[in-house]
A and B are shown apart, each in its own frame.
Chain A
Amino acid sequence: MQHVIIGAGPAGVIAAETLRKLAPRSDIALISDEPEPPYSRMAIPYYLVDHIAEVGTYLRKRDHWYADQRIELVNDRVASIDAHGHSLGLSSGHSRGYDRLLIATGSSAIKPPIEGVNLPGVHNCWTLEDARHIIERAQPDSSVILMGAGFIGCIILEALASRGVKLTVIEMEDRMVPRMMNDRSGGLIKKWCEAKGVEVLTSTRVNGISEDGHGRLGVNLGMGDTRPADLVIAATGVKPNTSFLSGSGIEVDGGVVVDHRLRTSAPDVYAAGDVARGKDFSTRSFTVQAIQPTAVEHGRVAATNMVNGLEIVHQGCLNMNVLDTMGLVSSSFGDWEGVDGGDCAELFDGDRYRYINLQFEDDVLVGANTLGMTQHIGILRGLIQTRVRLGASGKRALMANPLNITEAYLKATQGTTSSM
């Protein structure tokens, strides 16, 4: 059996390893267009601050890992898919057949449609190649403007600040991480950053970027406000890498359309990770989540389904994030904005930068946020994803003190008298 995987990010690598375990005799090829060995975008911020070298970002560290696993690594770009003929056209001019195919091509960062976004010195922060450009320009005391304070923007914010640059963050919406935290907690993150010397402009739009003829950039914020910059970073969103699928007949709508088994509309073709419009555990609808845990889960589920005789029906991935903004740790899980008719327990301590928000449907936890907490937060995932009933008293205890999540978990899962 020829298994071919397009894309060597976390989804592709986990899928290849899962296939190797479940189908020991099959051929497995992992095709990626990036020149580096498979690496993790998530590790880029730590490379930016020099905590790790480039090899520190690699998904697998052991020597000869892929060869030992008999996973063939191919450095090429898939230009087209002939779904009827079960074959791929590669940019190098070669073609390649498959029995089962996994599309794990991830997403790419986009730049906003404004003047000057393609000037030298304007970069995304998505690939190792981007990171090298950023390191070159983000020298101590240089001026850096970061467009976008969403999840990715906030993640790289700390790395930039600790390179000793003068940093300004510009966000169109009225708060930081608007899709992960509500206005109270998002407001605390902003206050925290400002206290650390980062200028944060929310509800602000970049109108265009210019260059003064000597390599210095100017970022136009309207009303005559133009900021000088040595480097502008666009963290303004991503889009799934699906352009090579045009003409293949494989259905794309926002991301590659998949069913509960992560099958695409073409026979023997599956999709996983940032490129796939998979099922969301909370909303039960299909959407692109674009997070690492989902890429990993998808990779495992899709690979299992690619093996004859095995089948996993995918119930949906829980949307969850953890974010460290200059030392302030926040997290979000599931339906953190709450559900109709549900209840909410909240604790807000602005002076100490602490916050927790729990959302219930009946006596089941369905969503949560934390700020300033690092202990036992994984239990929130466990409580949400097992849909465990807390019981009236369990829920009452959490409504009274939402910090007691571990106690609630132990009660709900271990009864009150028995041992572990």
Chain B
Amino acid sequence: MMKSLLIEASKCTGCLQCEMACSYENEGVFNPARSRIKVFTFHSEGRFVPYTCTQCEDAWCMQACPVDAIVINAQTGSKDVLEDICVGCKVCTIACPFGTVNYNQDSGKVIKCDLCGGDPQCVAACPTAAITYVDADATGLSRMRDWAAKTDNAAAPH
């Protein structure tokens, strides 16, 4: 059974530990600006929403890539960017309807969540269990998946 990230925004306190852990794991620096998971703040409601790639089935990023630089990780099911093949054309960054593949101007490549190869550091760092790594079926990801499917009204089944 593949696992995926379950994000329960109601448990998030906005501490940004996930962003710190992510940037440290993937970029070697504690810098939220370089995190693949982002926490959005709704000041008026006092609400925080962590947000990252859902590793969606349709993987618009992977389909749109002109050079085969985004591949499925057989172990985790994540869609991983192969840094040495990515040319930095950014087509995936406009193809992803969630906006979770982003261009990194320093490296000239795109970056996205790869579930840290099966041991997501955002999960390990979250003090309130707002982010957990659980069996894919149990996650409430269906809502985001619905969104992906709706984007596919470029090609709605008849």
A376 to B97 CA separation, bound complex (whole angstroms): 9
**Contact flag A378-B51 (CB < 8 Å), given A300-B63, A316-B154, A419-B10:** no
A126 at the interface (CB under 8 A from B): no
Within B131-158, the residues touching A (CB, 8 Å) are 140-141, 143-144, 147, 150-151, 153-158
Bound-state CA distance A418–B87 (Å) is 39
Given A377-B99, A419-B9, verify A386-B40 contact (CB < 8 Å): no
- Given A378-B93, A414-B143, A419-B9, answer yes or no on A315-B153 (Cβ-Cβ < 8 Å): yes
| B124 interface residue per 8 A CB criterion | no
List B contacts of A417 (CB < 8 A).
Answer: 10, 47
A46 is contacted by which of B87, B97, B100, B140 (Cβ under 8 Å)? B87
Chain B residues, CB < 8 A from A387: 153
| A385 part of interface (Cβ distance < 8 Å) | yes
Give the distance in Å from the alpha carbon of A40 to the alpha carbon of B68 in the complex.
Answer: 10
Is the Cβ of B85 less than 8 Å from the Cβ of A56? yes
Among A59, A315, A378, A386, point to the contact of B100 (Cβ < 8 A). Answer: A378
Of the candidates B7, B45, B90, the one whose C-beta lies within 8 Å of that of A419 is B7
Q: Is B156 touching A312 in the complex (CB atoms < 8 A)?
A: yes
Q: How large is the interface on A (under 10, 10 to 19, 20 to 34, 35 or more residues)?
A: 35 or more
Tell me if B15 is interfacial: C-beta within 8 Å of chain A: no
Cross-interface CB contact of B89 among A43, A297, A317, A382, cutoff 8 Å? A43
Nearest Cβ in chain B — how far from A73, in angstroms? 16
Q: Which of A300-343 contact B (CB under 8 A)?
A: 300-301, 304, 311-318, 320-322, 324, 327, 329, 331, 333
Within 24-83 of A, Cβ neighbours of B (below 8 Å) are at: 40, 42-43, 46, 51-52, 56-62
Contact A297 B155 (CB under 8 A): yes
Contact check: which of A40, A293, A312, A324 meets B95 at CB < 8 Å? A293
Question: Closest residue to B45 on the A side, CB-wise?
Answer: A416
Residue A235, interface by CB 8 Å = no
What chain A residues lie within 8 Å of B47 (beta carbons)?
416-417
Which residues of A have CB within 8 Å of B97? Answer: 378-379, 381-382, 385-386
Cα distance A376–B108 in the bound complex, in angstroms: 16
Q: Does A12 sit at the interface, judged by CB under 8 A?
A: no
Residue numbers in B under 8 Å from A329 (CB-CB): 90, 103, 105
B67 touches A413 (CB 8 A): no
- Least Cβ–Cβ distance between A51 and chain B, in angstroms: 6
| Contacts of B68-112 to chain A: CB distance below 8 A | 68, 85, 87-105, 108
**A99 CB within 8 Å of chain B:** no
Question: Are B154 and A331 within 8 A (Cβ)?
Answer: no
Provide the bound-state CA to CA distance between A130 and B89, in Å: 20
CA distance A406 to B42 in the complex (A): 11
Q: A320-B94, A376-B99 given as contacts; is B51 within 8 A of A292 (CB)?
A: no
Q: Once the chains bind, are B67 and A56 in contact (CB under 8 Å)?
A: yes
Say whether B64 faces chain A, with CB atoms less than 8 Å apart. yes
A301 and B155 contact, CB distance less than 8 A = yes
**A331 vs chain B, min Cβ distance (A):** 6
Docked CA distance A367–B92 (Å): 18
Q: A58-B67, A378-B95 are in contact. Are A311 and B158 (CB under 8 A)?
A: yes
Q: A318 CA to B153 CA in the complex, in Å?
A: 10
Contact B90 A420 (CB under 8 A): no
Does A281 belong to the interface (CB within 8 Å)? Answer: yes
Contacts A42-B91, A406-B40: A312 and B158 contacting too (C-beta < 8 A)?
yes
If A59-B68, A312-B157, A315-B153 touch, whether A296 touches B63 (CB-CB below 8 Å) is: yes
CB pair A43–B66 under 8 Å, yes or no, is yes
Question: Is the Cβ of B98 less than 8 Å from the Cβ of A419?
Answer: no
Chain B residues within 8 Å of A240, by CB: none
Of B45, B66, B98, B141, most buried by chain A (CB within 10 Å of CB) is B66
- Assuming the contacts A300-B63, A315-B156, A386-B151, asked whether A52 and B95 have C-beta atoms less than 8 A apart, the reply is no
Residues of A within 8 A of B25 (CB): none
Question: At the interface, yes or no: A201 with Cβ under 8 Å from chain B?
Answer: no
Contact of A315 among B51, B104, B155 (CB under 8 A): B155
Give the residues from 236 to 294 in chain A that come closer than 8 angstroms, CB to CB, to chain B.
Answer: 281, 292-293
Query: Within 8 Å of chain A (Cβ to Cβ): is B38?
Result: yes
Chain B residues close to A by CB (< 8 Å): 7-11, 38, 40, 42, 45, 47, 49, 51, 63-64, 66-68, 85, 87-105, 108, 140-141, 143-144, 147, 150-151, 153-158
Which 5 residue pairs are nearest across A and B when measured between Cβ atoms? A382-B97, A376-B99, A379-B99, A40-B66, A378-B99
